[in-house]
Structure 1
């Protein structure tokens, strides 16, 4: 496939969407919160709980473990849930008494006499001499094992977006921290849990504010934490859901014996109606780690665009323009974003790619070459009867993904210092607008250093463009 010959055009996919009664009210930026769940692949019950907390709860990112026994099932579940953001949980420890994990590579400095990972990362009196740091671990072997886990996850999980460390494996020394940062840059997978990641990505870890032994205590303590979140700031909460059942009852390590009951409490918390209502009442915006690390930055204030947006939205409503979403990006920052539904729905898009290899699936090519560098994950493709991706239609994007596509053209094919599309080809591109039926647009405006992405369902597309020219462009 030749990515420099990429051509895009967008069309609509209809959804049943409830229109909000009031549009365009600019308010102080809400706190944003990542709910991260760990250890997908460790057990069948963990897999079930992780998917449950995503589908019926508030989880937005999950960390998967390629060395664990139930990893193959996890891969299947992730294919069924392409919208779930996925991180690779890099593992070099195996903490449980009755189940053990081995490395993917030959790394004797990281394993015990039976070939299993050591149970602990640092010294633990319950496991004397059985930690990575108490033994002569080899940095080259750590990198070798991490690379193998990364390569396996990239092969199996298209929506992989970042790296994390199981039991702080990515940052237990400065040398490991630096090595992981190098791998993160090489594979375009930002690393969370390194020593410097909260500073680099400007977020704060939060936990329970009070007792957290029972499900009820977890709920009360977490709600107290939610009530303390400050507007305009970004937070990350992580925990480990599972189910309290026969599979999990034998799972423990010395000092942590009530694993099944404790982790059922996490599942209950992350699916709690009270917690979800608190998040809604406080206007907390749930985001994924991919959005945290690769999302377009938000401007702190819309400036004069605020009033212009209010006039535009009012005019769109008066002209019966069924607007689903609009996002305005200028100088690489999101100035304004408005939705007429509770969350950003994917819209179907046309995409044509000239291919010299008919056996290569479209998704397999686009993820490493285009989507992952731009932080576009959870893209849904429809396949034909031959299980190959359709190259003419039914590729599902979110609004910010469309804005990123426009920003890529605005930046002459370059993204974060990397040339994704040929600069020569983008310079020759005559169109600065991707458009499709019923009001789907990506407008690239070089003289304003701006991009406008719109998703709608309207019978008169010209009115929508006229309203954008009248109300929004003069304010940029």
Structure 2
């Protein structure tokens, strides 16, 4: 995702004042969290994508350490989760802004409607299947229309998004796309997922150059100046953790494998506000007909409900938080 941001960040750097170094204080400290503490948003992507995604998310929130999630508004199981939210108010529900429809036999179209966003629609009438397709065909105006349509549907269904992020990183793919993403977030006063601080984890994951790192911080300062909270870092490695190497592993093996990796990831985080991304699914016999990603998604769920992960978080004094709390803290700062 971050590698595609190079052109984006260069554009923003040309338009921005020259803030050069790592901020003296982390954004977490500026939000009032204790100095030198790891403050973590344990975040679930792809909610509403399937019945199984909803089941896994609910289980990770109610029985595990997950604290936040984002919903794919064009997908078929969104109403089921929104109805659950209305029975359980106060959940940290953002929008997983969706501009792709990547599965072969289960697909969705734009909420703005095909006539309004023709450049975002493929020959089947669905959103394009890959980020590359969206970059090749999509116009920035259509991207913004679809972003706003997804926000509008959330509000029509009765909830105000606590944050925005990007499915498959599509909105980080070109300078024009990210400009619209950030613009809408600032105009609507909705926090956007953007790592704008020390970026210790994400710079390793994405092999960011010093120039790219400096540019992310410039954008972070812009978002902060607009009145929104900003991430100090982003951990986005878990989708690549496919499972134990041995064949015929058990669910216990999968849980242990994923839990150990999450603990290692948390151990390596630096103090500040970090979003840790995961995909929690409780598979049924249907999910393999959607995607072959069931094992890694189930592994995320198993890790979130593992008592060993909770014990580690508590032992290390890691503070779990939400986008909702981060915005509330930011709004108190003049």
- Between the aligned partners of 1:284 and 1:173, the Cα distance in structure 2 is 35
Is the CA contact 2:94–2:163 (under 8 Å) kept in the aligned structure 1? yes
Determine helix, strand or coil for the equivalent of 2:44.
Answer: strand
Select which of 57, 66, 74 maps to 2:73.
Answer: 66
| 2:307 is equivalent to residue 264 of structure 1 | no
| 2:174 is equivalent to residue 167 of structure 1 | no
- Between the aligned partners of 1:267 and 1:194, the Cα distance in structure 2 is 24
Q: 1:212 to 1:227 in 2, by over 3 A?
A: farther
Is the CA contact 2:95–2:164 (under 8 Å) kept in the aligned structure 1? yes
Aligned to 2:130: 120
- Between the aligned partners of 1:295 and 1:175, the Cα distance in structure 2 is 29
Aligned to 2:290: 251
- Between the aligned partners of 1:117 and 1:56, the Cα distance in structure 2 is 34
Aligned residue pairs total 260
Describe how 1:162-241 pairs up with structure 2 within 5 A: 162-193=163-194, 196=216, 199-200=220-221, 201-207=230-236, 212-213=242-243, 214-230=254-270, 232-241=271-280
Question: Which structure 1 residue ranges, 5 or more long, are not aligned?
Answer: 1-26, 123-130, 298-373, 375-403, 408-415, 417-476
Aligned to 1:102: 109
User: How far off is 1:291 after superposition?
Assistant: 2.8
Q: 1:208 to 1:138 in 2, by over 3 A?
A: closer
Aligned to 2:325: 291
Determine helix, strand or coil for the equivalent of 1:234.
Answer: strand
- Between the aligned partners of 1:240 and 1:112, the Cα distance in structure 2 is 26
- Between the aligned partners of 1:92 and 1:202, the Cα distance in structure 2 is 23
- Between the aligned partners of 1:171 and 1:30, the Cα distance in structure 2 is 29
Structure showing the higher strand proportion among its residues: 1
Aligned to 2:83: 76
Structure showing the higher helix proportion among its residues: 2
- Between the aligned partners of 2:231 and 2:295, the Cα distance in structure 1 is 33
User: How far off is 1:163 after superposition?
Assistant: 0.9
Q: 1:229 to 1:140 in 2, by over 3 A?
A: closer
- Between the aligned partners of 1:172 and 1:38, the Cα distance in structure 2 is 18
User: How far off is 1:234 after superposition?
Assistant: 2.1
Question: Which structure 2 residue ranges, 5 or more long, are not aligned?
Answer: 1-33, 197-215, 222-229, 244-253
User: How far off is 1:81 after superposition?
Assistant: 2.2
- Between the aligned partners of 1:219 and 1:139, the Cα distance in structure 2 is 40
- Between the aligned partners of 1:108 and 1:264, the Cα distance in structure 2 is 35
Q: Please list the CA deviations of residues 87-125 of structure 1 after superposition, one character each: whole Å capped at 9, or x if unmatched.
A: 111111001122001111222211111101111102xxx
Aligned to 1:338: none
- Between the aligned partners of 2:195 and 2:96, the Cα distance in structure 1 is 12
Is the CA contact 2:195–2:234 (under 8 Å) kept in the aligned structure 1? no
Is the CA contact 2:241–2:296 (under 8 Å) kept in the aligned structure 1? no
User: How far off is 1:37 after superposition?
Assistant: 0.3
TM-score normalised by structure 2 residue count: 0.72
Determine helix, strand or coil for the equivalent of 1:246.
Answer: coil
More RCO (CA 8 Å, sep 6+): 2
Describe how 1:280-319 pairs up with structure 2 within 5 A: 280-292=314-326, 294-296=327-329
Structure 1 segments of 4+ aligned residues over 6 angstroms from their partners: none
- Between the aligned partners of 1:157 and 1:74, the Cα distance in structure 2 is 12
Q: Please list the CA deviations of residues 182-238 of structure 1 after superposition, one character each: whole Å capped at 9, or x if unmatched.
A: 2112211121148848844142122559965133211111112222334x4222110
Is the CA contact 1:202–1:234 (under 8 Å) kept in the aligned structure 2? yes
Aligned to 2:121: 111
Describe how 1:124-139 pairs up with structure 2 within 5 A: 131-134=133-136, 136-139=137-140
Aligned to 1:36: 43
